A and B are shown apart, each in its own frame.
Chain A
Amino acid sequence: MSEGQIKKFMYVNRKAPHGTIYALESLEVVLIAAAFDQDVSLAFMDDGVYQLKKGCNTKGIEVKNFQPTYRALDDYDINKLYVEKEALEARGLTEEDMCVPVEVLTRAEIGKLMETQDIVLSF
Chain B
Amino acid sequence: MAIELNGKTYETDEEGYLSDISEWNEDVAKVLAEQENVNMTEQHWEVINFLREYYNEFQIAPAVRVLTKAIGKKLGPEKGNSQYLYELFPYGPGKQACKIAGLPKPTGCI
State the A residues within 8 Å of B (CB): 28, 31-32, 34-35, 64-66, 68-69, 71-72, 75-76
- Is B35 at the interface (CB under 8 A from chain A)? no
Hey, which chain B residues are within 8 Å of A69, CB to CB? 58-60
Task: Return the chain A residue nearest B73 by Cβ.
Answer: A75
15 contacts between A and B (CB under 8 A): A31-B63, A31-B108, A32-B108, A64-B59, A65-B59, A68-B57, A68-B58, A69-B59, A72-B58, A72-B66, A75-B66, A75-B69, A75-B70, A76-B66, A76-B108
Question: Shortest distance in angstroms between A2's beta carbon and chain B's nearest beta carbon?
Answer: 14
Q: How far is the CA of A76 from the CA of B59 in the complex (A)?
A: 14
**Known A72-B58, A75-B69; further 15 A-B contacts with Cβ < 8 A:** A28-B107, A31-B108, A32-B107, A32-B108, A65-B59, A66-B59, A68-B57, A68-B60, A69-B58, A69-B59, A72-B60, A72-B62, A72-B66, A76-B63, A76-B66
Hey, which chain A residues are within 8 Å of B59, CB to CB? 64-66, 68-69
B97-110 vs A: 1/0 string, CB under 8 Å? 00000000001101
Hey, which chain B residues are within 8 Å of A34, CB to CB? 63, 108
Hey, which chain B residues are within 8 Å of A32, CB to CB? 107-108, 110
B70-110 vs A: 1/0 string, CB under 8 Å? 10000000000000000000000000000000000001101
Task: Return the chain A residue nearest B63 by Cβ.
Answer: A35
Q: With a 10 A CB-CB cut-off, give which of A32, A71, A75, A76 has the most chain B CB atoms.
A: A75
Number of B residues near A (Cβ < 8 Å) is 13
Hey, which chain A residues are within 8 Å of B69, CB to CB? 75
Hey, which chain A residues are within 8 Å of B60, CB to CB? 31, 68-69, 72
Hey, which chain A residues are within 8 Å of B66, CB to CB? 72, 75-76
Task: Return the chain B residue nearest A75 by Cβ.
Answer: B66
Hey, which chain B residues are within 8 Å of A72, CB to CB? 58, 60, 62, 66
